[in-house]
Structure 1
Amino acid sequence: MRIDRYLSIPIRPRRATDKIIECVGRWPVLLRSYVLVRYGWSTPYSLVQSSALDCRNPPELVEKSWKPLTSPSDTRAVVSTLYSDSFAVGVAVMGHSVREANVSARLILPYLENRVSAQAICIARAVGWEPMPVPFIPPPHNGKGIHRRFYDQYTKLNIWALDKKGIERAVYLDADTLVRRNFDELFDSPFNFAAVPDAYIDSRGFPINFNAGVLAFRPSSAVLDVMKEKIATADFPLKQAEQSFLNLFFATNVVRLPYAYNANLSIKKRSPAMWEGLKDEMRIVHYTMTKPFLDNSPGLPKILTEKMQRKAIERSAAMHDREYAEEVGWWARAFDRMMQEKRVEMQACYRSS
């Protein structure tokens, strides 16, 4: 449904149900949709300007009395991927933030041996990642129609083979995420697959399809085998690579998680009020709009030195008229804490290159 269909609707007096709709707008997608349809409140969600103050005391995202199950932490994993040296510092800061949040799980990092340097692996190990070489999974149709920066992303599907490493439950995080609060509750989910709905700054707004930057899943080599079998012939939009494929593959068999588990920076652009409402419960922030750690300027080494990294942070904060300066500041402070604790190990990685 296109938002521009509603731009000419005249302003009407505020109804008592409007406040309820605004509060409902902050609920998980499926529950929100049910309530709006069930009671006939059809205001387009893209037009709702919700505010944390409009829902005075929303319930806690996770019940305070909740306690994690007793399954051993070595059967749980936070997993990311590394396909180039450019993301090594990002994955290190993210991994360190996982440890700071006391997430009870191993850190497992699948990577491509022929594309990632020993220096990058050294940086990842310094914060606790367990590097795991994996085979390259090529994109279907020889990469035709796929954005070049997504060419390696089908290799992410290897994470479903973690059951061979004794992992029973896993949470996947993109290297451009940062953990702000513990999310152990995701490991206790009874569902095989869960993800967070995507968010866009254009007319798509807040669609039902999910973003593949944060995934809670049950590893299964059998599922991976089916994926590999179907990927070449599956009919899905190729531009967004493995994310489009996963949306097709899991279809309706996916639980939509709250935005607090994948606080995509595009949400702030789309709805600043909604972003403010997320902050208190935000578990994971996703740096989709600006990358504090990434700098592909000509002539720079593959791995940024600490001085270069600080310049990259400054440039990232200055982008988009400093709209994301606060969030870049979160990442910068996480980087500082990592370096304060791991500087000796990090510097040893640079010297060994």
Structure 2
Amino acid sequence: NLNKLRQNIATIYNLCAAKGVEVVGVTKGLAALPVIAQVMVDGGIKVVGDSRLENILTLREAGIKAKMMMIRIPMLHEVDLVVKLADCSLNSEIIVIQGLSTAAIKQKKIHDIILMVDLGDLREGVLPTDVFGLVKEIRTLKGVRLKGLGVNFNWISGIDPTPEKLLELVSLSTKIEKDLGIKLEILSGGNTSSLALVVNDTLPEQINQLRIGEGILLGHTDIFTDLKGTIQDPIKLFAEIIELKQKESTPLGSISRDSFGQIPKIKAMGVRTRAILAIGKQDIYPDDLSPLDQNITIVAASSDHLVVDVTKSTTSFKVGDEIQFIPTYPGILSAITSKYVKVYTD
């Protein structure tokens, strides 16, 4: 629902703008659909970011008028394409930055670099003790420009963004600027999870950029908290009923592993009305779906089938009807990349 997305963008953009924070609109959640990127740009966002060059190419070809940021650290073999398609990229390896430098010189461009710093989440980033030396190396390279420092939180280790963590980034920036006599324009303080600090007015004032995807799509200030003034259901998943029958809740026969190698946990509930939907784990995992009708429960899924219990629902379902779900952010990522899931906007 584009109007709901517009409201989320406006709320987040205005909240951040009031604190002097630039919003990078992250498009990967919906595979860089140009219509979504255009809604971001129309809402004031001047930089869009994506983790896949294929998606950035899609946005370029669609004529999206915004700066493009590569938000996954580049693969060494793709540096030429990174420079060609993206205005800026997040980086942590000097050999890749050297490759970007060579590519930029060949293409007669200046490519902006944000050097990622690992402040504890243990995904991408240079260790704080190594930042100063790496910055000095980057400064010797032509074709690339060190635009600033960046950080990530709440990814593989679940480390929360805190004022103290971000002040470490500020301290590194201050030392670099003082000792090397350069100005770092950007301190990119994380992703949607860092919005909580903006809301609580605890984001250090030197942090002037956040990269927001989930917050726009689902109206979150962090992974679990809704942001006031946003809407949590701009994106819904519809799945069609292909079988509707009353069946025993307890299987008949000996139980071993299911088709995905798991041992099912069965709760005996007697005869239930069960619907099978034409979607499965090949498209999205059931843990990433919440039925819009709270009287419906998810029973199980295989690769192409999702079984739900509609016994308590007040809706009189029939074969051919659709059941609606709210997907999580990981669920959106999965479903949008399935060629079997069709995307519609309104």
TM-score (norm 2): 0.24
Q: Taking CA–CA contacts closer than 8 Å with sequence separation of 6 or more, which of the two structures ends up with the larger relative contact order?
A: 1
| Larger proportion of helix | 1
| Larger proportion of strand | 2
Question: Max radius of gyration: which structure?
Answer: 2
